[in-house]
A = this chain, B = another copy of it.
Amino acid sequence: MKDEDVSLRPIGVFDSGLGGLTVVRELSAAMPGEDIVYLGDSARVPYGTKSLETIRRFALEDAAFLLRFSPKMIVVACNSATAAAAEVLRACLPVDVVDVIRPSAEEAARHGAGPIGVIGTEATVASGAYERALAELAPGRAVSAVACPLLVPIVEEGRDESDPIVTHVLCDYLRDLQRLRPEVLILGCTHYPLLAGAIGKLMGPGTLLVNSGQAAAREAKRRLAARGLFNARQGPAAVKCFTTDNPRRFAAVARRFGAGRIERVAYVGTDELEAQGLPQRDASGVGTAASGTVYCS
């Protein structure tokens, strides 16, 4: 296939559920001519409370599904999936992989010289992925990462920033970070941009919020342009979605995430995802790491 044809291929995007649609919004804003195929694994959402081994297997299955559409690039629109699987995805997939952690860490490193805060899911924080990236990109700066497990279910429930429960929960999670007064706070989960107003108010004007979806969209555009694969068409491009749970509910809730021009939402079962072969499964050792038995007495 010639290069001019490759530029017309879609960008594949996947997430554990709906949160990644905030990344689709940023991709569409930055590159209105790019077609997008999105997979939201709503039947197994959330990823962020699960073990890194399980998330890794799910992420490989999601990516393998997107390969059916011959994407020119795959965007991992989920911080938990990035934390668990970015490396193995890069090793296994035959296309360029953009994740949401590295670009956010680069953006944070460019801003100021003071402490950096990170909020994310249990899995993202437990992985230490942001600390590792920032140790390389912003050596010597204090980094403090806080897990906020209730924020994903709060956003998925439809609560917005005017809800007192949202304020109570954010105050609880952000207390230590408020004392740290970071120059930058990375919103290390693609659900969190929907709470950015309330988070910004609590942290104050001295803290810059980094939206991991925005950072990833800029990185995706830069890489496509560098490889001559950018589709400069002015759109409107197509956003096609797949979900592993009910497409009707997905379509109804998707609007809140501002993903724009979604053309259609189709169902694909997790049984189908699990049954397809994984890219280079043997090489990655996936599916064995979480196994074993714990004896309790």
Residues of A within 8 A of B (CB): 42-45, 49-51, 53-54, 57-58, 149-150, 153-154, 156-157, 164-165, 168-169, 172, 244-251, 261-267, 269-271, 274-275, 287, 290-297
Q: How far is the CB of A121 from chain B (nearest CB, A)?
A: 11
Q: How far is the CB of A237 from chain B (nearest CB, A)?
A: 13
B297 and A263 within 8 A (CB): yes
B165 and A294 within 8 A (CB): no
Q: Is the interface of A mostly helix, strand, loop or mixed?
A: mixed
Given the complex of chains A and B, what is the CA–CA distance between A43 and B52 in angstroms? 11
**Which 9 pairs, one residue from A and one from B, show the smallest C-beta to C-beta distance?**
A51-B246, A266-B293, A267-B291, A271-B274, A274-B274, A153-B153, A251-B294, A247-B294, A265-B294
Q: Can you spell out 11 A-B residue pairs with CB atoms less than 8 angstroms apart?
A: A50-B246, A149-B156, A149-B157, A150-B165, A263-B296, A263-B297, A264-B293, A266-B292, A267-B291, A270-B274, A271-B274
A296 and B262 within 8 A (CB): yes
Q: Could you say which residues of chain B place their CB within 8 Å of the CB of A153?
A: 49, 149-150, 153
Given the complex of chains A and B, what is the CA–CA distance between A172 and B164 in angstroms? 9
Q: Could you say which residues of chain B place their CB within 8 Å of the CB of A165?
A: 150, 168-169, 172
Closest to A42 in B: B50
